[in-house]
Amino acid sequence: MTTLQSGNETGVLAGDERMLIDGELQETASGAKFDVINPATEEVAGQATDGVVADMDRAVAAARRAFDTTDWKRDVEFRYHCLIQLRDALVEEKERLRRIIVTEVGTPIATTDSIQLEFPITEAGHWPEYGRGFSYLRETGVLAGDERMLIDGELQETASGAKFDVINPATEEVAGQATDGVVADMERAVGAARRAFDTTDWKRDVEFRYHCLIQLRDALVEEKERLRRIIVTEVGTPIATTDSIQLEFPITEAGHWPEYGRNFSYLRETGVHESVVGNARRMQQYDPIGVVGAITPWNCPMYLNIAESVPALMAGNAVVLKPAQLTPWSGSELGRIVAEKTDIPAGIFNVVISNANEVGAALTADPRVDMITFTGSTATGRRVLAATAPTIKKVFLELGGKSTHIILDDADFSLYLPMAAAAACAMSGQSCTLPSRILLPRSRYAEGLEILKASMEAFPYGDPWDPNVFQGPSISETQRQKVLGLIQSGVNSGATLITGGGIPAHLPKGYFIEPTLLSDVDPNSQVAQEEIFGPVITVTPYDTEQEAIDISNNTIYGLSGEVSSGDEARALRVALQMRTGTMTINGGSYFGLTSPLGGYKQSGLGRRNGENGFEEYLEIKTIGLPV
C-alpha cells in the first residue's frame, strides 16, 4: 500500500512542459503547446511543448554526434556513475512523479507501488549494476573442460587412466574427454568427505566458510568466459542462455549463499514454554547434517552443481558431487576452481566424474553419507529413495514435471500464447518446470492454435553460438529419439500434428528437433502424461474452469503450473486449486534465490532456495533449560 510520508501531498500535478535536446531543456521554437487531459476527470491537467519534425531532427543529430565523438560508448564506469545518479534522483523525486503519473495516466495510485513507478525505479538501478558486470568482449567457439576429478584436495584421474568421450550435441562430434571414475574413486571421495567433516572446524567456523565461498564466487567471475564456452560446448545450450540460468545466475547464487549463511541464526532462543513437567526455556541449534552427496543432471549443469553444493557447504557440510555423464566438465571445472583458487580444506568438496551409473549408485548407498540431493527424472528418483532407505538418509529430490498452462477465456492471447511457445522451446524444452501442456478454452480454440502455430514456426533455433538463437539441440541422440517417439505416440493416440514433429532438414548435424505443436491431445494419453523434455507443446481444449483444473491435476507430477487471464483475481483462484509447488500467474515469475522451489506428488521432496532451501542442509536440535 502506498503510504506518503508526512509533508507529501496527493492530487493532480502537472509535469514539466519542456523537452530535452542536446542537454538543454527547451520548448519548440514556435512556443506551441498541447493540452494534457486527466483521464479521471476529463479536464485539462496542464500542457506540454508541441515539438515538430525539426526538433526531432536536432535530437537525432545530437545523439549521433554524442555517440560518435564522446567516450560514452567505451567508459563503463562513467555510464554506471551517471545511471546510478539517475536512479538516486528518481528515488528523491518519487512522490512528485507518483502524482504526475496518476494525473496523466489515470492509473490507480496503488499501481505506482509496482509497475507504474516502483518497478521502473528498481529497473533504473538494475541495469547499471548488470552492465557494469557484463562481459563486453567474449571469445566463442568449442572449448573442452578439465578432464580431472577432485578427491581429497587433489585433481586427479582414475587409477586406470580410463576416459570417456564428451560429445558436442550441436555437431555430434567428440569435443574432448573426461576421466572415467570407478566405484573405488567414489569410496575414496566419501571417505575424504567424512574425515574432513568429522575432524576439521569447517562445520563450526562460519567466517572461514564465508571467506572460502566468496573466493569461489570471485573465481567463477574471473573464469566466466572460459566457463561460458565450455557450457555451450557440452550442453549445446544457446550462448544467450549463459546470460541467465546457464551461467550468470549460478555465479550470482554462488555469492548469495555465503552472505545468507553468514547472517543465519544457528542458535536461537525460542522463549519460555509450558510443559508437563513445568515451564522451561527453549533454544534451537541448527547443525550441519554431515556428508552430502549431490547427484546433478545435464540440462542446467553449472546452475545445479552450484545450487546443490554451495548452500550445503555454507551450512557447514562436506560435499561429494557426482555430475551427469553427458556434461562432466561443468563439474570438473568447478572442482578445478575450488582446488586452485580457494582455501576450502581437502575433503570438504569432492567431484567424482564417471560414465558409469554404478558410481552414483555407490554414493546413494554409502552409510558414511548423511544426505543425498538428486535432481533428475522421477524414475531415477525412486531408485535413489530405495537405495537410501537402509541407512535412513535425508533425501532432497527435485524430479520430473508435466506443467500445465491454463489460458482462461478472458486472457490476452496475443500476449500470453507467444510467451508460452517461447517458454516451451527455450533450452530445447529440457527443463522440468516448462509449461509443455496448454489448455485452451473451446470457445477460442481455433484462435489460440493459430497464434501458437505462428509462434512455434517463428521461434529461432539452430546454432547455439548464434546470439539470436534460443533453442539448441537435444543433449543426445538417445534423448532426441525419446522425444520423437513421444510425438509419434501422440499422433497415434489421435492428436493432430500442427507443425514440426521431425528433424529439421537444414540442420543435418546435431541433435536438433523442430519446434512441435500437437493439438486435440487426449489428456490421458502418453504424450500428455509423460515428461517430454523436448521443444513440444500439447494442446487440449476445455469447456469449464473446473474441467481445466481437473485436467491439470490429473498427473503424477506437481512441479509447476501457469494461469493467464485478464482478471488476476480469477487467475489466482484457479492457481490455488492446482496441485503444484510453484505457479506463474500472468507471466509473473516465482523463480528466485529467496523463493522456495519444489514439487507436490511425485515431482520431489523438499525445497530448494529461500530459508526452506538452506535449512534442508541442517539438523535441528531442541534444547530445554530451566527458567
How many CB atoms lie under 10 A from the CB of residue 188? 18
Please check whether residue 440 lies inside any domain of the structure: yes
Pairwise CA distance, residues 559 & 561, whole Å: 7
Residue 8 has pLDDT above 50, yes or no: no
Residue 147 has pLDDT above 70, yes or no: yes
Task: Please identify every residue annotated as catalytic.
Answer: 398, 432
Say whether both 409 and 359 belong to one domain. no
Residues 502-527 as b or e (16 or more Cβ within 10 Å = b): eeeeebeebbbbbbbbbbbbebebeb
Torsion over CA of 41, 43, 48 and 50, rounded to 10 degrees?
120
Say whether both 123 and 242 belong to one domain. no
pLDDT for 6 equals: 34
Say whether both 346 and 413 belong to one domain. no
State whether the Cα torsion 392-394-399-403 is positive or negative: positive
Please check whether residue 602 lies inside any domain of the structure: no
Q: pLDDT (tens digit, 9 = 90+) per residue, 483-514?
A: 999 999 999 999 999 999 999 999 999 999 99
C-alpha distances (whole Å) from 283 to each of 254, 261, 280, 623, 624 are 30, 19, 10, 5, 7
Q: What is the mean pLDDT of the chain?
A: 95
Please check whether residue 539 lies inside any domain of the structure: yes
Question: Where would I find the H helices in 459-554?
Answer: 477-492, 526-529, 545-553
pLDDT band at residue 140, thresholds of 50, 70 and 90? confident
Percentage of the residues of the chain whose pLDDT score is greater than 70:
99
Residue 2 has pLDDT above 60, yes or no: no
The CATH number assigned to the domain holding 468 equals 3.40.309.10
Say whether both 187 and 66 belong to one domain. no
**Crossing angle between the packed helical segments 568-575 and 545-553, to the nearest 10 degrees:** 40
Cell of 364: 546413494
Please check whether residue 566 lies inside any domain of the structure: yes
Counted domains in the chain? 3
Pairwise CA distance, residues 604 & 596, whole Å: 13
Domain range for 71: 19-133
Q: pLDDT (tens digit, 9 = 90+) per residue, 373-400?
A: 999 999 999 999 999 999 999 999 999 9
Instruction: Specify whether the CB–CB gap between 505 and 513 falls below 8 A.
Output: no
Name the nearest CA neighbour of 538 among 499, 590, 502. Answer: 499
Pairwise CA distance, residues 480 & 326, whole Å: 14
Q: pLDDT (tens digit, 9 = 90+) per residue, 64-76?
A: 999 999 999 999 9
Say whether both 391 and 242 belong to one domain. yes
The CATH number assigned to the domain holding 362 equals 3.40.605.10
Q: pLDDT (tens digit, 9 = 90+) per residue, 209-262?
A: 999 999 999 999 999 999 999 999 999 999 999 999 999 999 999 999 999 999
Pairwise CA distance, residues 439 & 448, whole Å: 10
Please check whether residue 501 lies inside any domain of the structure: yes
Say whether both 276 and 409 belong to one domain. no
Say whether both 245 and 328 belong to one domain. yes
Residue 142 phi, psi (nearest 5) = -55, 135
Q: pLDDT (tens digit, 9 = 90+) per residue, 251-302?
A: 999 999 999 999 999 999 999 998 888 899 999 999 999 999 999 999 999 9
Please check whether residue 614 lies inside any domain of the structure: yes
Residue 575 has pLDDT above 60, yes or no: yes
Say whether both 178 and 276 belong to one domain. yes
Say whether both 437 and 539 belong to one domain. yes
DSSP notation for 570-604: HHHHHHTTS--S--EETT----STTS-B--SGGGE
Residue 100 has pLDDT above 60, yes or no: yes
Pairwise CA distance, residues 449 & 444, whole Å: 9
Say whether both 208 and 357 belong to one domain. yes
Say whether both 412 and 444 belong to one domain. yes
The reported pTM is: 0.83
Say whether both 443 and 328 belong to one domain. no
Please check whether residue 512 lies inside any domain of the structure: yes
Please check whether residue 144 lies inside any domain of the structure: no
